[in-house]
Amino acid sequence: MDGVTGNVLVADAGSSSFHLAIVDVHDRVLTTRDFDEPPGADAGKMIEEFLTGAPPVDACGHRMVHGGPDVPRPTVVDTVVRTRLQAAASLAPLHMPPALAALDAARRLLPRLPHVACPDTAFHHQLPDPARTYALPRELTRRHGLRRYGFHGLSYAYALRRTAELLDRAPEDLQLLITHLGGGCSACAVRAGRSVDTTMGMTPSEGLPMSTRSGTVDPGMLLWLQTETGMDPDRLAHVLTRESGLLGISGTSDDTRDLVRARATGDAAAALALDTFTLGVRRGVAAMAASLDHVDGLVFTGEIGEDQPEVREAVAAGLSVLGIAGGLTTPEPRQPAMVSRPGAAVPVLVVPTGEVPQIALETRVCLRTRH
């Protein structure tokens, strides 16, 4: 394959699902299949079942949530790269094991095709030093490689492309605030086509409150929980990643649609969950603005960002300090659109998540530049 023509099999393994698609050179998704469980020992069977009767493919692109320090950009997988990805697995323990299971199964089934690892961290790999550095002792950070990586990079890269088209400007000419709101949530500052700051850090647990993840919390409180209650690291990790966020505050659901309905019936816990979440998003977006000279647009992407107008409105309406206003319209489903009022000082846009075509694009670019 020369990196330009041919269909790409895209494998997007999450912590609780598995998405497979075949994308042609024009970014068209030819066929797709969603599994409601992550790939494991049965990954080969899932892929083989999907490929039966499907169009032929010439390469495979694999979403990797974490590339670690040694896979900073889309890379063809060989034995060495596979080992480096394994080393990064502990940095995203919910996401990397299923992704590696899918990668291994696809390489066994399709051994003659190139397989490209597309890290979600790649979009942020050129973060300025101040944005990637933790305020910890230098010896500690150097010894253990402690730094901020950032995530949702595939989503941000796609959102940047589509936003530039909507605004009829080159990506390199834009300074944008983009927020990816889904099961995981983050915000990003983009300047001159590059990520210059983002809310997630060394792992996908830092930053905004999320569906079941806490986001950033007081590190002193975590130490207190361990010393005063005897909570061990495994239990604490489970609480922070599986029992917190929207689910933890509401006590009923991690789905904003459920919470909006519950709030309308007077459910105070649901209302508090939504208010805490949207305040957290506003805080994150405002913090990202500190890394820009001005703001050319606020972009919402991710499942919540795309589908939940109540969340978008609460976020935008609370950012008047940045020149952003509410009164947003609701776009047609799955259509990128401007949703701010005509003549708004800062345009607000909604861009549906495009990780699948972005993975296919990055796979092609990687293979083209390799030759």
- As annotated, the active-site residues are 120
Cβ–Cβ < 8 Å for 190, 178: yes
Burial of 229 per CB tally in 10 Å (0-12, 13-18, 19+): exposed
- DSSP assignment of 136-148: S-HHHHHHHT---
Compute the distance between CA of residue 180 and CA of residue 290 in angstroms, rounded to an integer.
18
Compute the distance between CA of residue 8 and CA of residue 113 in angstroms, rounded to an integer.
10
Cβ–Cβ < 8 Å for 178, 296: no
Cβ–Cβ < 8 Å for 22, 8: yes
Write out the two tokens for 135: 């305020």
Sheet holding 337-338, edge to edge: 194-198, 185-191, 175-181, 297-301, 348-350, 337-338
